[in-house]
C-alpha cells in the first residue's frame, strides 16, 4: 500500500472511531469517579456525614421531615439524586420518615447484622450514602417499610427546581 493511501485510510479510521470514543468518554463521565467517604465530609454537616458515611442512625422523632406532608421528592442529602416520591411516604409511627417504596433503581441494598438479627440496609446507588433499612412490615401496596434517616434526605417540594447532582472533587 502506498503511503498516501495508508494516510487516507488512517484518517478515515480516525473519523469513524471518533464518535465511538466520545460516547465512551460520556459513559465514563456518567460513572462518577469513586471517592473516599471522607471526600464527602466538607459537603455535609457532621451529623449528616455520620449517618450517610458511617452508618449512624439519627434519634427517632428528631427529623423535621417526619411531619413533612407536602408533595415533592426526597433526594439524597449527599449527591442530591432523587430517592423517594412523597406519594410513597406514610406515617409509620416509628419516628423516622418512612416510605412504601423507593424510586426505581435509586437504591442498592445489603444485609446488615449489626443488631444480630439480619436487616436489609439500603443506600443511595449513586454515591453509596447510607439511607436506612427496609422491612417487610409496611402497608399496602408494597408491604414494605423503608425506614429512612431524615438527615440523609433533602426534600424538594413540588414546583421547586431539583438541585443538580453534586460530587466531591476527585482526590486521586
- Choose, by CB under 5 A, the member of 126, 131, 144, 148 that binds Zn ion: 126
134: three-class secondary structure by DSSP:
strand
Does 51 interact with Zn ion (rule: CB under 5 A)? no
Identify residues 66-95 at the interface with Zn ion (CB under 5 A): 76, 78-79, 81
Q: Quote the least distance from Cβ 172 to Zn ion, whole Å.
A: 19
CB 65 within 8 A of CB 118: no
* Catalytic status, residue 147: yes
Does 124 interact with Zn ion (rule: CB under 5 A)? yes
Does 148 interact with Zn ion (rule: CB under 5 A)? no
- Joined together, the cell numbers standing for residue 71 give 408533595
CB atoms within 10 A of CB 129: 25
Whole-angstrom Cα distance, residue 12 to residue 154? 50
Which of the ranges 64-72, 112-120, 126-134, 163-171 carries the binding residues for Zn ion, by CB under 5 A? Answer: 126-134
Q: What are 101's strand-pairing partners?
A: none
* Binding footprint of Zn ion on the chain (CB under 5 A): 76, 78-79, 81, 124, 126-127, 129
Amino acid at each position: 500500500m502506498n503511503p498516501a493511501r495508508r494516510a487516507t485510510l488512517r484518517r478515515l479510521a480516525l473519523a469513524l472511531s471518533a464518535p465511538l470514543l466520545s460516547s465512551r468518554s460520556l459513559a465514563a463521565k456518567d460513572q462518577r469517579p469513586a471517592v473516599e467517604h471522607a471526600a464527602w465530609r466538607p459537603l455535609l454537616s457532621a451529623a449528616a456525614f455520620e449517618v450517610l458515611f458511617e452508618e449512624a442512625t439519627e434519634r427517632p422523632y428528631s427529623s423535621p421531615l417526619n411531619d413533612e406532608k407536602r408533595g415533592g421528592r426526597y433526594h439524597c442529602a449527599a449527591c442530591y439524586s432523587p430517592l423517594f416520591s412523597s406519594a410513597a411516604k406514610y406515617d409509620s409511627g416509628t419516628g423516622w420518615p418512612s416510605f412504601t417504596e423507593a424510586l426505581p433503581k435509586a437504591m442498592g441494598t445489603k444485609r446488615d447484622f449489626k443488631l444480630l438479627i439480619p436487616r436489609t440496609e439500603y443506600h443511595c446507588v449513586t454515591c453509596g450514602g447510607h439511607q436506612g433499612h427496609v422491612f417487610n412490615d409496611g402497608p399496602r401496596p408494597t408491604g414494605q417499610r423503608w425506614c429512612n434517616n431524615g438527615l440523609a434526605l433533602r426534600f424538594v417540594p413540588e414546583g421547586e427546581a431539583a438541585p443538580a447532582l453534586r460530587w466531591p472533587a476527585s482526590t486521586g
